[in-house]
Structure formats: C-alpha cells, structure tokens
Structure 1
Amino acid sequence: MRCEPHLKCTLKCALDISCFEMNVYIELLKNSPIGVDELAEILDKDKSTVYKALQNLLEKGYVTRDCRILRGGGYKYLYKPVPFGEFKKKVLKNIEEWLSQLTKYLEELEEMSRTKLLEVLESEKV
C-alpha cells in the first residue's frame, strides 16, 4: 500500500518538526540504527545539520540513540526511530492538543465582529 504524498506533510505538522527533520526521520525508518556520519552522507548534508535535526527528534521523543564503544577507542551514537506504538501515541496526542487549541480559537473568533476578525487574521504572521 502506498501512502498519499500529503501524508508526509500531515505527519510533519502533527509532529511539529521541519521538512528536513521529517526527511531525517524517514531515512531512520529505512536505515536504522545509523550514525550521524552515514546519515549525513545519505542526505547529502553537513554533519552538524543532521546532528541538530537528530537532537530535536531525540528531544521530542521520536528517536532513540544508543552508544556503541569503538574497538580503537572512543564511542559512536547510533540513532533509530521509537517503536511504532510510541510514535502513534505521540502523533495522536499532538493532534488532540492541536485540535483543542484550534477549537478554542474558533470559539473566540465566533464571538468577534467581522471587522475585528479581519484585524486579527491580517496581523498574524503566516
């Protein structure tokens, strides 16, 4: 079964992540566990850019990282997406919070006059 192209955008919004972070997440689904170096090469991006995206995904709880000790000394972090059940819970929670906020805004807008509504909408940065 193939997902519609807009599913990626819907998930990106539900997860509150950037387009690039969504691309990183998709690569993790395909190639995990994986390190920053390998991921940067696949995505053709600088390691620091990939690392920042991974840090955000890690902080939001969408990925995990494991530390691997290297034979020659040192260590390397390998990243992978959280199990799908956890991912699904986070997406649903974000959607519920978003819907609650949107409902609140709509109720507030309903009480405004047309003129005031236009002022509010035009002042919002989109």
Structure 2
Amino acid sequence: MPDPISEDLREELDCLSLLESFHGLKELDRQVFVALADSEDPLTVKEIGDVVDRERSTAYRAVQRLLEAGYIQKEQVNYEEGGYYHVYRVDETEAVADEMQRMLNDWYAKMGQLIDEFREEYADQETTATHPEQ
C-alpha cells in the first residue's frame, strides 16, 4: 500500500524523492539515475552495474524501470564490423520535469474531483443523521 499523503508531508524529502513518489521506483533505481546523471558519457548496463556495485542483470532491471518511467533514454551504438550495443543516459531534464508537472496537475485535478464527489455523497447522509424524519 502506498504511503499516505500526510506521511509524505511530514518526511524530509529531496528532489530525487520524486522518482519514488511519481513512479514507485526503488533505491537502486535512484542510484542508477544518479550514476547516469553524474556520467559525462552514456553508459552500458555493465558500466552502470559496476558504478552501483550490482550484477548486470540487477542493474538491467533498474534501467528498465527508469526507461518505463521516462527518466532515461536508450541509444543504439553500432559496431563498424556489424552488431550493436545499447547505452543509456538521463533524458532532458526539462522534459522530465515537465512530465512530472503534468502528472501532478492531473493528480491534483482528479483529487479535487474526488473531494467534490465525497462532499456530495456524504453531505446527504450528514443532513439525514442530524435531522431524521419524524
């Protein structure tokens, strides 16, 4: 079950907490994101695994979660003699921030609508409870 909003408001959060708040990403995902953000060049999954001190397969799963969330991009690098490999880099900061802002606005609008529905649904019951018919 996700943490309640009231708990989030009491906690000391930093900007990387957004990774967890918006997409439920894990601590390893955060470490991979930081490794990619700190790197001057795109990294392979093996290089990412080395930086975060995890097996390649574990690093790959974190990379996949970050890709699905839209925080990083995958690029194909072709060998001259044929074949290819993939490298990863952090997506454009503005694009990521804009997407998080859009999601927050959508969430806010949806919560506002649900609060209105709550008022309408339970206002009638409150009136009935305080003024029962005789």
TM-score, normalized by length of structure 1?
A: 0.70
The structure 2 residue matched to 1:25, chosen from 33, 37, 47, is 33
Indicate how the Cα distance of structure 1 residues 100 and 46 shifts in structure 2: closer, same or farther if over 3 A, else same: farther
The answer (yes or no) to whether the contact 1:21–1:54 under 8 Å persists in 2 is yes
Aligned to 1:78: 87
Indicate how the Cα distance of structure 1 residues 104 and 46 shifts in structure 2: closer, same or farther if over 3 A, else same: farther
- For structure 1, the 5+ residue unaligned runs are 117-126
Q: After TM superposition, where is structure 1 displaced by more than 6 Å over at least 4 residues in a row?
A: none
Give 1:1-126 correspondences, 5 Å limit. 6-7=13-14, 8-14=16-22, 16-19=23-26, 20-31=28-39, 32-70=41-79, 74-111=83-120, 113=122
Indicate how the Cα distance of structure 1 residues 33 and 41 shifts in structure 2: closer, same or farther if over 3 A, else same: same
Greater Rg over alpha carbons, structure = 2
Q: Please state how far the C-alpha of 1:88 moved relative to its aligned partner.
A: 1.5
Give the whole-Å Cα distance in 2 for the aligned partners of 1:39 and 1:51.
9
| Percent of aligned positions that are identical | 22
TM-score, normalized by length of structure 2?
A: 0.66
Q: How many residues align?
A: 110
